[in-house]
Amino acid sequence: MANSDDKQLLSQIASNQKRQRGGLILTPILFFIAMGIIMAGISTIQSGNTALGICIILVGIVAFILSAKYLEHLSDQKNKMKELVGQSVVREILAERIAIEQYNPNQYFNRDFLEHCSILPNYDRSSGSDYISGTYRGVPITYCDLHLEVEQESTDSDGNTTTSYYTVFRGPVINLALRQPLNGYVRIRERRNPRKEKGFFSGIINGAADLFNIDRNTVETENAQFNQQFKVDTSDPQLAFYILTPQFMEHIVQADMIVNGYTNIEFNQGIVTLALNNGTDAFELGKYKKNDQFLEEARQRFRYELNSILSIVDEMLTKENLF
């Protein structure tokens, strides 16, 4: 049975999600009513009654503004829910494994980082959540869930142009601080794999791998299987071979098995970045179900997600001469 704190939290969650459901129904209704009123006003003007038509159009514009405001309110309710669950539930789960310095459920890495991270694809629109900063096993770590999309325009046979957005990246991004800065960079990018082209990845825009800022400074290791799975770019081949020992390459392959998606890693100066394109968005509550165990089940799911993420980090931390 849920304790008193959980009962109060469940009540807040149920109330918030009820308002969100109401908003999802009411917003499109208001929008279509507004459009109908505006069209009626235009029709009235065309029939010769200009003054009345203008008044009707003004009413439609007001209804349209109300629709937009309600949509904004809906987004605010969603953010409040994320903040509530994050600070009340997710934070305590994170604190079991990570010494947290900062946790912001509705934030993610800033635009400057996204623009300069070479292992992330080019994008037109970004969103994210669960920004975490702290220390794990003595190593400074930052984390967020990230969603990147590109814009595509298409024109039909009548010349009408429509704009759509396609996902090119969705998953966790993790930064780990090195003990000593490296003099250069090593980037490890997973090659496209037909066996992974299903589910989430079937919806990724064709050629998304080509959206990376790939340079020509590639090297190959002595591990043919690793070379087949990953492409390695580096500013210094000796640095690449210093990092990519036979044992560490095995750990990268093991980490990729946990990722269950595409694994991209960059060693650059004093930071190691992991961009794990696996279609996941961790620490999300989902739809409320009237169940006393709902929060406890969510906590168990969040623990599983955290342990999966940190098991990938653990594979990186086997490179003890760097951390």
- Residue 143, token pair as written in the block: 């984390």
- Indicate if the alpha-carbon torsion angle 320, 321, 322, 323 is positive or negative: positive
Provide the pLDDT for residue 34. 78
Provide the pLDDT for residue 4. 63
Amino acid at 231: K
Torsion of CA 37, 41, 47, 51, to 10 degrees: 140
- Provide the 3-class DSSP secondary structure of residue 242: helix
For residue 231, the surrounding DSSP H or E stretch is strand 230-234
Q: By the 8 A CB rule, do 3 and 293 touch?
A: no
Provide the pLDDT for residue 218. 85
Provide the pLDDT for residue 147. 97
Provide the pLDDT for residue 288. 62
Q: By the 8 A CB rule, do 64 and 39 touch?
A: no
At a CB cut-off of 8 Å and minimum separation 6, what does 277 contact? 169, 170, 171, 261, 262, 263, 264
At a CB cut-off of 8 Å and minimum separation 6, what does 9 contact? 84, 88, 89, 295
Instruction: pLDDT tens for the chain, 323 residues: list them.
Output: 456 676 777 777 777 766 766 667 777 777 788 788 888 888 888 888 888 888 888 887 887 787 777 677 677 778 888 998 899 999 999 999 999 999 999 999 999 999 999 999 999 999 999 999 999 999 999 999 999 999 988 877 777 788 889 999 999 999 999 999 999 999 999 987 656 555 555 555 444 444 444 455 788 888 888 999 999 999 999 999 999 999 999 999 999 989 889 999 999 999 999 999 999 999 998 776 677 788 889 999 999 999 999 999 999 999 888 88
